[in-house]
Structure 1
Amino acid sequence: MKKARTALQRTAEPLSYHTTMVKEEQAEVLSDESGGPLEESGHTVDSSDEEVEDSVADDMARFEDSFVGINKRYRLINRIGEGTFSTVYKAEDLEYNDYQNRWDIDERDESKWASPKTLRKQSRRAHYVAIKKIYVTSSPIRIFNELELLHDLRDSPFVCPLITAFRHMDQVVAVLPYFQHRDFREYYRDMRIPEMRLYFHSLFTALRAVHQERILHRDIKPTNFLYNPEQARGVLVDFGLAEREGTDWHQCACTLATEERRYRIAHSVYAQTQQSGHQPSAYPKNDTRSSRRANRAGTRGFRAPEVLLKCTQQNTSIDMWSAGVILLTLLTRRFPFFHSADDIDALLEITTIFGRKKMKDTAILHGQVFETNIPSYSEGGHSLEKIILWCTGRTKDDKGNKPELQDDEKQAVQFLYGLLEVDPVKRMTADEAINHPFLAKVYEDNDEYDDMVDLVDG
C-alpha cells in the first residue's frame, strides 16, 4: 500500500520552533516588500526541459551539493521562479509512485475516465513538482509560519498545497505541485469579459477558502496567481507574507463606534492645530506621540489604502483590494496600473481616481490626516468608467457622441466598485464576490466550469 505523503513527513531534519527563533526575528532587519510586479513577471514563464542557461545549471548544481540527498528524491530540471525571499525550481518527483498523491489535480482529472491500461502508463510517466528553496536569510519564524499555513490550507480549492518540506542544516525547502501557467503579460491585453469571469471565479474561490481560515495572503498579484488560460484554472501561491487575522493587532480608529471616533477626532492633535489657526498641514513642534507601526507587507501598486495609512487592525479585506487592482488592470489593459515609488506616491495615485474628499475621509477613519495641495487632484476624483474608456483609447466619435462601455463591461465595473472600496468595512468579501451577478454568470458562459470546480474540491 502506498504511503500518504503529508507535509513535513519526509524531512531530512525535523522542523522545530522555539524561543531562539523569536530572538533571531527581533534581531533581524527584514523588508516585507515583495518584488515588484515587473521584476517577477518575467520569471513565471514555463521553460522547456532543454532550455537551461549555464548560470541556472550552475545554480542548480550548487543547490544539489549544499542540500545532501535532494537529488535522490528529485531531479532538478530548471529554475522557474525567483523572488525576494525564495527561488523555485521545476523538478521530477523520483518517488512519486511510492506515495499517495491527492494533491495531483491533473492526474485525478486524467484518470477519472481512464482505462486500467492507461492508468499503468500514467504511473510510469514523469511527474513534476516545484521545489521552493527559501533563502537562509529569511526569518525562521517566517519560514515556519508559511509552512504551517500551507499545511492548514492543503485541502482548499485553487490553493497550492504543501506536499512536504525538508530541512538540511540551515536550509529549508518546500515541495509544492508544479502547475503549468502563462505569464500574465502574455494575455492580460487580450482577455475578454467571459474569460475574466473564469479568472476571478477561480481566484475568489481560493480567497474564500483562505479567508474562511482567517488567513490574510497579503500579496495578491498576478505573479502569485498561476493562471492557465487554456485550462481556465488558476492556483494561488506564495504564502511567504501571509499571516493569521489578528496577528499583532492594536486598536485602530476604524473599529470604533461612529460617535467615539468623532469624539477622538474633535479632541485630536490635528483638531487642535486647526483651532489654533495653523494651516491644515501644520504639525506640533514637539510631538510626544510614539510613531505608529503597522504591517506594510505586500507589493507596490497592490497595497490597500488602509495598509498605506498604517491601519493596525488589517483584515482579509486587503486581499480583496489587491484583486480589484488586477481587475482594473485587465479592464484598462495597463500593467502595472499603479506604479508608485513609495507609500506617499501610492496614496496620491489612489487620490487621482477617488478624489481628495474620499481620501481625507478614509485617512480620518484610521486616525490619520491626509492633505495635499496639488491642484491637479480634484475633490471628487473620476469614475472608473471614465478611466477605463480613457485608458483603452475610446474618445468621442466624429459626430461628437460620448463613448460608452459595453453591457458586460458595465457589469464588470459595477463589480469593480465593490472591490476598490476605500472603506474596508464596505468592501466586498470573497463570499460576496463569488455570489455577485458578474461572477455568477460564469456558469452561463461555461457549462463545464462547475464540473471543474467539483473536481478540484474533490
Structure 2
Amino acid sequence: MEVNPSVCNDGNSTESHVKANKHIGRRKLSLDVENDIEYLYEAVPQLSTVFHIIDKIGEGTFSSVYLGEALMANGTKEKFALKHLIPTSHPVRIAAELQCLTVAGGKENVMGVTYCFRKDDHCVIVMPYMEHQTFVDIIGLLSFEEVRQYIYHLLKALQHIHQFGIIHRDIKPTNFLYNRQEKMFALVDFGLAQGTADTQIELLKELSGLCKAPRAVFGERNLNSCTPVPTKTTDPKIELVKSTKTEDPATRKFVTAHRRPLPVKTPVSNQRPNQRTTPAAVNLGFTCSCYTTDRVCNICMSRKQQVAPRAGTPGFRAPEVLTKCPNQGTAIDIWSAGVILLSLLSGRYPFFKASDDLIALTQIMTIRGSRETIQAAKTFGKSVVCSRELPRQDLRTLCETLRGRRPSPDDEATPHPHRDTTTCHHHTHDTPISTDLPGEPSRQHQTLAEPEAQDERGWDRVPDEAYDLLDRLLGLNPAKRITAAQALQHPLFTDL
C-alpha cells in the first residue's frame, strides 16, 4: 500500500490532526463517535500519518470498525476499513485472524488484508473498504435471481475458506458484505474462526491448543479469554448432558411406573457432588430415573457441566452447536448459510429469534420436525426429549406463506403448526418453552412488496431446486449435511 503520509497531518502532530478531524466531522458525527476516533488516534499514533478517519461504521463485542481515507502515491484518495481490536484480545487470537485474512483472503469473495498497525496492546487491521447495503433494508427488494447469486457467492466463499481448514463460526448477513449495484461480495470477520483437524492455518492449531476449555453454552463468555470454564452454573437445571457409551441415560436402566427407584441421597451442602461419585452410584444400583421423562433426577443433577465450542450469533447456530457437540466442523457454517437462504426465500429477517439455546432448538424443531431433530441428535451422541411431536414443515409452503403468496392458515379453525407451547428437554431441562412462529418477530422490518410486484422479480417462478438446496443446507445431521463444494454443483447453479 503506497500512501502519501501528508494526507493526514501535513507534517503536524497527531494532536493537531485530531483537532482538525473533530472540526471537519462536528456537524456529521455524534460526540461519542468523535471521542472514539480521538481515542483511536491517541492509542495508535501511527494512524495519523496515513489515514483521515471519517466515521465509525461498525461495533461488535471484540472490535470496532472505522472508515478511513488515505492519499495514495498516485494522488488519488482511497477508502479503507480500519478494524480496531479490543486490547484484551489474546495475541494468538489476533494473529490467527490476520493469518486467515492473509492466507485465504483477497479472492473468492473473501476479504483480504492491506496492512496492520500495532501500538502496545492495541491492534488495527487495515482492509479494503467495500460499499455495501444493509441486509435488512434490501431483503424485501431482491429478485429471486439476486437471491440465487447471493447464496452462490456465499457458498463460493465458504468453499474457499473450508479448503484451508478454516471454520468461520459466525456466518450471518452482516459478515457477508453485499454491494447490490456492483454485484460484489465479501466475507469478513474471522475473529471467532477455528481450525479443522487438518487446517492449513498454523495459528488456528495453536489457538486450539491454547483454549482447552471452550465457552459454555449457557452464559456468554469472551472467546478470546482462555481461562477454564467454571463447573458450576447459576441454574443447574439448564444443563445439557453429553451421551456416553457407559454412563448415558439412554444405556442405563430407567424406572417405570411399576418399579420404585432406589433412594438417592441429596447432598447436604450447597456444593454439587463430585462427578466421580456418579459411576459408583450407578454400580450400586442408583440408576437414572428421568430418561424420556419431563423430570431431572439427582443422578443427572450431580454431573458436571459439559462444555463445547460455542461461537456465532443467536439464530444462526447449528443444532450440534446448540446441543454442545464437542466435534464441530465446517458443517456449522453451512447451516448458517441455510438460515440466510431461509430468510431470503421467506423475506423474514431475522428468521429465528430465541433468548437461549433450548428455545432456539425448539424453533428449529418447528421447521424441521421434532422426530427428525431427536434422531439427528442421537447420531452425534445427544439425547433430546420433546413433550409433543412437531411435524416437519414443507419449506416451499412455509416460505410462500410468509411471503404472502399463500393464504395463512386460520388460527382459530386450524392450529398453527408453529404457535404452541412445547416442552423441549436436552435431558435435563424441564421448563416449558413457548415458541412463536420463527420469523414473526421481524414483522417490523418487513418490506415485502405485493404479490404482483414480487412476480416481476421472479418470485412466482421459484424452482423446486431452490427449496431442495435449502433442505440440504439445513440438514440436521452434520455428517450428512451438504458441503459448500457439493452445494456449488447443485442443479440450482447449473448455468453459473
Q: What's the TM-score once normalised by structure 1's chain length?
A: 0.71
* Contact residue 89 and residue 132 of structure 1 kept, 8 A: yes
Question: How far is 1:386 from its partner?
Answer: 2.1
Separation in structure 2 between the aligned mates of residue 194 and residue 50 of structure 1, nearest angstrom: 40
Could you tell me which residue of structure 2 aligns to residue 392 of structure 1? 403
| Larger mean Cα displacement after TM superposition, 183-192 or 140-149 | 140-149
Question: How far is 1:144 from its partner?
Answer: 2.0
Written as runs of structure 1 = structure 2, the 5 A alignment for 1:92-131 is 92-94=69-71, 96-97=72-73, 123-131=74-82
| Larger mean Cα displacement after TM superposition, 364-373 or 174-183 | 364-373
Larger Rg: 2
Instruction: Indicate whether 1:324 and 2:338 are aligned.
Output: yes
Written as runs of structure 1 = structure 2, the 5 A alignment for 1:41-440 is 51-94=28-71, 96-97=72-73, 123-246=74-197, 248=208, 268-274=248-254, 278=289, 280-281=292-293, 282-287=295-300, 289-373=303-387, 375=388, 377-378=389-390, 380-396=391-407, 406-440=460-494
Question: How far is 1:275 from its partner?
Answer: 6.0
Separation in structure 1 between the aligned mates of residue 246 and residue 91 of structure 2, nearest angstrom: 44
Question: How far is 1:317 from its partner?
Answer: 0.8
Separation in structure 2 between the aligned mates of residue 50 and residue 426 of structure 1, nearest angstrom: 55
Question: How far is 1:265 from its partner?
Answer: 6.1
Separation in structure 2 between the aligned mates of residue 346 and residue 183 of structure 1, nearest angstrom: 24
Label 1:356 to 1:194 Cα distance change in 2 as closer, same or farther (>3 A).
same
Separation in structure 1 between the aligned mates of residue 406 and residue 96 of structure 2, nearest angstrom: 50
1:342-361 Cα distance to aligned partner (Å, 9 max, x none) = 10111000011112111111
Residue segments in structure 1 that go unaligned for 5+ positions in a row = 5-47, 98-122, 251-262, 398-402, 444-458
Local SS of the residue matching 1:286: helix
Higher relative contact order (CA 8 A, sep 6+): 1
* Contact residue 52 and residue 70 of structure 2 kept, 8 A: yes
Separation in structure 2 between the aligned mates of residue 436 and residue 286 of structure 1, nearest angstrom: 48
1:83-112 Cα distance to aligned partner (Å, 9 max, x none) = 111111111124x33xxxxxxxxxxxxxxx
Question: How far is 1:151 from its partner?
Answer: 1.6
Separation in structure 2 between the aligned mates of residue 351 and residue 420 of structure 1, nearest angstrom: 12
Separation in structure 2 between the aligned mates of residue 267 and residue 130 of structure 1, nearest angstrom: 51
- AA aligned to 1:371 is V
* Contact residue 193 and residue 408 of structure 1 kept, 8 A: yes
1:277-326 Cα distance to aligned partner (Å, 9 max, x none) = 64513444234654321111000000011111111111101101101101
Question: How far is 1:78 from its partner?
Answer: 0.9
Local SS of the residue matching 2:77: coil
Label 1:182 to 1:50 Cα distance change in 2 as closer, same or farther (>3 A).
farther
Separation in structure 2 between the aligned mates of residue 49 and residue 338 of structure 1, nearest angstrom: 39
* Contact residue 317 and residue 429 of structure 1 kept, 8 A: yes
Label 1:128 to 1:396 Cα distance change in 2 as closer, same or farther (>3 A).
closer
* Contact residue 401 and residue 407 of structure 2 kept, 8 A: no
Label 1:348 to 1:143 Cα distance change in 2 as closer, same or farther (>3 A).
same
Please tell me the root mean square deviation across aligned C-alpha atoms, in Å: 2.7
Separation in structure 2 between the aligned mates of residue 391 and residue 49 of structure 1, nearest angstrom: 44
* Contact residue 156 and residue 210 of structure 1 kept, 8 A: no
Question: How far is 1:411 from its partner?
Answer: 2.2
* Contact residue 334 and residue 473 of structure 2 kept, 8 A: yes
- AA aligned to 2:393 is H
Separation in structure 2 between the aligned mates of residue 143 and residue 266 of structure 1, nearest angstrom: 40
* Contact residue 224 and residue 236 of structure 1 kept, 8 A: yes
1:248-297 Cα distance to aligned partner (Å, 9 max, x none) = 599xxxxxxxxxxxx96697323324365645134442346543211110
Local SS of the residue matching 1:148: helix
Label 1:206 to 1:141 Cα distance change in 2 as closer, same or farther (>3 A).
same
Separation in structure 2 between the aligned mates of residue 240 and residue 320 of structure 1, nearest angstrom: 18
Could you tell me which residue of structure 2 aligns to residue 450 of structure 1? none
Separation in structure 1 between the aligned mates of residue 399 and residue 129 of structure 2, nearest angstrom: 35
Local SS of the residue matching 2:299: coil
* Contact residue 44 and residue 117 of structure 2 kept, 8 A: no
Residue segments in structure 2 that go unaligned for 5+ positions in a row = 4-24, 198-204, 213-242, 258-288, 409-450, 452-458
- AA aligned to 1:78 is D
- AA aligned to 1:331 is L
* Contact residue 91 and residue 131 of structure 1 kept, 8 A: yes
Label 1:368 to 1:68 Cα distance change in 2 as closer, same or farther (>3 A).
same
1:374-429 Cα distance to aligned partner (Å, 9 max, x none) = x4x52x321112211221123359xxxxx9x8442422111101101011111111
Percent identity between matched residues is: 35
* Contact residue 146 and residue 239 of structure 1 kept, 8 A: yes
Separation in structure 2 between the aligned mates of residue 344 and residue 187 of structure 1, nearest angstrom: 30
Question: How far is 1:52 from its partner?
Answer: 2.5
Separation in structure 2 between the aligned mates of residue 386 and residue 265 of structure 1, nearest angstrom: 40
Local SS of the residue matching 1:173: strand
Local SS of the residue matching 1:307: helix
Separation in structure 2 between the aligned mates of residue 396 and residue 61 of structure 1, nearest angstrom: 54
Local SS of the residue matching 2:130: coil
Separation in structure 2 between the aligned mates of residue 147 and residue 295 of structure 1, nearest angstrom: 21
* Contact residue 131 and residue 174 of structure 1 kept, 8 A: yes
